[in-house]
Structure 1
Amino acid sequence: MYEFLIGLRYTRTKRRNGFISFISLVSMIGIALGVAALIIVLSVMNGFQEEVRNRILGMASHITISSGGSALVDWQNAAQVAQQHPQVIGTAPYVLGQGLFTNGSQVKGVLVRGIDPAQEGRVSEVTQKMVAGSADSLRAGEYSVILGWNLAQELGVTLGDKVTLITPQGQVTPAGLIPRLRQFTITGVFKADYYPYDANLALIHLQDAQRLYRTGDGVTGVRVKLDDLFAARRVAQALSQQLPTLMVADWSQENPTYFRAVEIEKRMMFIILTLIVAVAAFNLVSTLVMVVTDKQADIAILRTLGAAPGSIMKIFLVQGAMSGFIGTFTGVVSGVLVALNIGTIVPFIERMLGVRFLSADVYLITELPSKVIPGDVISIGVISLLLSLLATLYPSWRASRVNPAEALRYE
């Protein structure tokens, strides 16, 4: 195919007009930058979504089974039914309540979770997140508590210190309703690296929580862990059919707003950055129009030698496609390299500028994560190539319409 060979030659050779070469180079650089930016941004968003999801589910649960407001008395049966599912790898009961922890003048609202230390390791990573003490330090009747790292810092307490828990379930006396108070001893501190947990969660023994929140032998619900968190919705539907009187919710239902917002944001960023790639790709239009004008004599000679208009069009399609391919390939390689090394590049920039890009209490994480998904990279590359090819259609068609006699009149 001589059209392909001539198109490649036009791509490699230096043009008489240096400005055309400069515009062609700018177009390829623009495509490369747009593709690289799109890959980096999507990889960071994928990494952020996965990191936060893993940190949420590291202390939360894939599926929860509850009675919908009242205490779940027959929780052992629910746990047994769930455990029979082949994808369930662990279950554990829990009691959930709210309260206020006080230490001197320090007061902090918290979410109190009663757990069974012997079973909790099956459904959460709390035993792996301990920075002081251990989960086994929770013993029934001793009223010990494990605090999140930020919560302990805000209360100004360490291991062995005592804090007072005030619960909403008050006691009715002749003097009126009096809040229930209970003193707890701090026997552990965990750090989940997820600010809402580290700053607002306290763990106590399940039996202490049952007495404190007056659930009797019942619990708030049963937490379930799966071998594949993405199968949570399907497994939850199967369990809800086996337990029709109970409420079965998966992790996506418990955090719907956050995960939906991240997904929408990712799609919008993809669209916006694709427009940047489109602008860079359509710069090829101006480049090829000037190339066609510069090569009119060559086109006329080819036409007089018998080249068909379609062949002329193919030549410039090849040239434009090669420019788009070079820009796309460069952008994909550079974008993937940066995305894979973002954990090294960002700290280096932070040290150079003396700034901190991520604050834990705002962005939930302190390090910029990145996850390169091959499907995203392939989609970005294909879209960039299609936009580049689309941008070459008009200049190539215009080249095929050049009149040889008019082009050679002044040569």
Structure 2
Amino acid sequence: MYEWFIGWRYTRRQRGTRGRNAFVSFISLVSMLGLMLGVAVLIVVLSVMNGFQDELRHRILGVASHIEVTAQSGMLEEWPAVLDRVRRHPEVLGAAPFIQEQAMVSGNGRVQGVGVRGIEPSLERGVAQFADYLRAGSLEALQPHSYGIVLGTDLARRLAVGLGDEVTLIAPTATATLAGVMPRVRAFRVVGLFESGMYEYDSGLVLVHLRDAQALYRYGEAVSGVRLKVRDLFAAPAVVRQLAPTLPAGLWLRDWTQTHANFFRAVQLEKTMMTLILFLIVAVAAFNIVSTLVMAVQDKTADIAILRTLGASPASIMGIFVVQGTTIGVLGLAAGLALGLTIAHHLDVVVPALEHLTGATLWNKEIYFLSELPSKVLAADVLRVLTGSFVLTLLATLYPSWRASRLQPAEALRHE
């Protein structure tokens, strides 16, 4: 076991070391710091990507739906029968009719394009989380033919309106008048404000009662479709396959993995590419150990020759430098793990502090859709990072250690 003792002794910087010894110790420290930073950055970035993906999924599906049933014609006439049929499926927790259209909303001389969603408040609670996102007012204030409207907080701020104020919806549906064809215009009273944390929805979605939407867009008794919430959102594709044969022909069923497929694929691809790039950074830091050990072997030539003369085997010499390189790697990995987990768990403090120090905006909700930088540390990701980094470190020690084991004592002592 003397290999462990000597390897650890070579790793530590001894007091009074000067010249080449001090430089080798400095290179060892730099290699250790490189590994620490590489591992820490990799853990933080993966945690942010996990949190970003999880938070987006949660917030998008809190406003959107797990499954949508729509008609090919764009208007679903027999929606009560469809609603009754889908509710019988054991995995369906809730179902609600909806109307989805576009409009321009005007308030205080300001105009904004929005998506208009007609809902039945009593049923909407079963498929979406608007009740949890409300910051003022209530969904129950949306009564048929009362022409109330619920706005996102960012949209209300842009229009400079609040509870009780009036806004005007301008629908693209045309109405023939004596003056010609005119868009349909209707005044609505603000009865609620919601904040989902998704800038896309908070700035571009309004809710009205289903009956009001039917009147504004001339749907009659029809709706755009039926929205479903299932017990396990990852089982949504299987539920679609099970429901399809039980519903009338001419209906389209789409689950959230289809309606937001490109978005989530892009996030997953970005996570994969970021992981690969950062692993290359860790690899560069790990292979710095090669230069560290090469210099250590050159510096300890006389020590190697003496050990060989005293009977140390080539395997023992190789083991000494493997221990030295691995020790550098393990210390770097441990420090990187501690630093990475600390930052990942305190991003809500770190990001504002960096913004305050630099004066720059590091997280813009208008660009990233989320109002806060999320983070979610997964044990599996941390384990993969540590395992991959340790393997790279171990591989980096093999060649210099093998070269040290091949050193001949007589050749080494000739120049001493």
Is the shorter-chain TM-score for this pair beyond 0.5, marking a shared fold? yes
Alignment of 1:88-167 (within 5 A): 88-103=92-107, 105-167=109-171
Residue aligning to 1:83:
87
Alignment partner of 1:234 is 2:238: yes
C-alpha distance after superposition, 1:144-165 (max 9, x if no partner): 1111112222223222222222
**1:3 and 2:20 correspond:** no
Query: What is the Cα deviation at residue 244 of structure 1?
Result: 6.8
Alignment of 1:321-332 (within 5 A): 321-332=326-337
Q: Structure 1, residues 22-80: CA drift from partner, whole Å, max 9, x if none?
A: 10111011101110011111111221222222222221111111123421122233333
Q: 1:182 aligns with which of 183, 186, 191?
A: 186
1:236-266 deviation line (CA, Å, top 9, x unaligned): 3333343373212122221223222211111
How do residues 257-276 of structure 1 correspond to structure 2 at under 5 angstroms?
257-276=262-281
Q: Give the 3-state SS of the residue equivalent to 2:89 in structure 1.
A: coil
Selected match of 2:292 from 287, 290, 299:
287
CA shift for structure 1 position 136 = 0.3
Q: Distance in 1 between matches of 2:309 and 2:327?
A: 26
Question: Match of 2:375, SS?
Answer: coil
Q: Mapping of 1:13-24 within 5 angstroms? A: 14=14, 17-24=21-28
What percent of counterpart residues are identical? 52
8 Å contact from structure 1 (residues 163, 186) kept in 2: yes
Letter in 1 for 2:216: L
Please state whether the residue corresponding to 2:407 is helix, strand or coil. coil
TM-score (norm 2): 0.93
CA shift, 1:7, in A, is 2.5
**8 A contact 1:343–1:370 mirrored in 2:** no
Given residue 185 of structure 1, which amino acid in structure 2 is its aligned partner?
A: R
Structure 2 distance, partners of 1:325, 1:39, is 16
3-state secondary structure, aligned to 1:376 = helix
CA distance in 2, matches of 1:398, 1:300: 13
Look up the SS of the partner of 1:392 in the other structure. Answer: helix
Quick one: distance in 2 between partners of 1:193 and 1:79?
30
Match of 1:392 in 2: 397
CA offset at residue 330 of structure 1? 1.1
Q: What code does the residue aligned with 1:376 have?
A: D
In 1: Cα distance, 2:336 partner to 2:126 partner: 44
> Which of 54, 59, 66 lines up with 1:50 in the alignment?
54
Letter in 2 for 1:8: W
Residue 340 of structure 1: CA displacement?
A: 0.6
**Structure 1 Cα separation of the partners of residues 183 and 370 of structure 2:** 36
Q: Does 1:248 align with 2:253?
A: yes
Cα distance in 2 for residues equivalent to 1:155 and 1:5: 72
User: CA shift at 1:174, angstroms?
Assistant: 5.9
Determine the structure 2 residue equivalent to 1:63: 67
C-alpha displacement of 1:355:
4.1
| 1:181-220 paired onto structure 2 within 5 Å | 181-220=185-224
